[in-house]
């Protein structure tokens, strides 16, 4: 990088290295330099998106996501991130569209169904919430606490205390 300050590969490696070291300022410095040189670079965009999302700057995240979504239509990372950003911006219809797309692209991603369940709960569509939370509990192979909690909450709100207790357990 000292010899050639526009060497994109060196900038990317430095950004990823500082990310591993959890040096946020240096990471963002190199990410920003790299994105000026190559605005469509996937890895640099991914680092930028992850940091903005972590900082809860959802509106600032959206242009970066839409840019790389136009280049990589079938990427599950982008589809998932767009669904989460729209969910956090309370654009539930748009979020639902992306999570349904994610579910069709990656049938093993149970978090898409979890978020579809959350959206259904916000919309008071308890049947859809139950279906999505149940699907998520069957798909997921790791801890599914959030899915069972959502299912229990749905049963509680629909006045089915026995099923709610079972799901809470």
- Model confidence over 111-137: pLDDT tens digits? 999 999 999 999 999 999 999 999 988
Write down the pLDDT at residue 19: 92
Structure tokens at 45: 């965009």
Backbone angles phi, psi at 159, to 5 degrees: 60, 50
Looking at residue 29, its pLDDT comes to: 93
Provide the 3-class DSSP secondary structure of residue 91.
Answer: coil
Spatial contact of 98 and 83, defined as CB atoms under 8 Å apart: yes
| Distance of alpha carbon 22 from alpha carbon 123, whole angstroms | 38
CA-to-CA distance for 2 and 41, rounded, in angstroms?
Answer: 21
pLDDT greater than 90 at residue 139? no
Q: Looking at residue 145, what is its pLDDT?
A: 84
pLDDT for res 144: 79
- How do residues 31-63 score in pLDDT, each as one tens digit? 999 999 999 999 999 999 999 999 999 999 999
Q: Annotate 49-85 with DSSP letters as a single string.
A: HHHHHHTT-HHHHHHHHHHHHHH-TT-HHHHHHHHHH
What proportion of the chain, given as a percentage, has pLDDT over 70?
Answer: 100
DSSP H or E run through 162: helix 161-168
Q: Residue 111, Cα to own-chain centre: how many angstroms?
A: 9
pTM for the model stands at 0.81
């Amino acid at each position: 990088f000292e010899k050639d300050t526009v060497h994109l590969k060196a900038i990317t490696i430095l950004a990823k290295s500082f990310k591993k070291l959890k040096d946020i300022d240096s990471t963002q410095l190199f990410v920003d330099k790299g994105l000026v040189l190559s605005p469509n670079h996937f890895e640099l965009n991914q680092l930028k998106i992850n940091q903005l999302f972590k900082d809860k700057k959802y509106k600032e995240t959206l242009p970066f996501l839409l840019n790389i979504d136009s280049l990589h239509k079938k990427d599950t990372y982008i589809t998932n991130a767009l669904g989460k950003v729209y969910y956090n911006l309370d654009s539930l219809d748009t979020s639902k569209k992306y999570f349904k797309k994610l579910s069709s692209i990656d049938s093993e991603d149970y978090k898409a169904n979890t978020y579809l369940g959350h959206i259904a709960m916000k919309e008071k569509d308890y049947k859809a919430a139950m279906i999505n939370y149940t699907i998520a509990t069957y798909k997921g192979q790791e801890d599914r606490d959030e899915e069972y909690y959502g299912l229990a909450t749905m049963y509680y709100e629909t006045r089915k205390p026995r099923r709610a207790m079972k799901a809470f357990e």
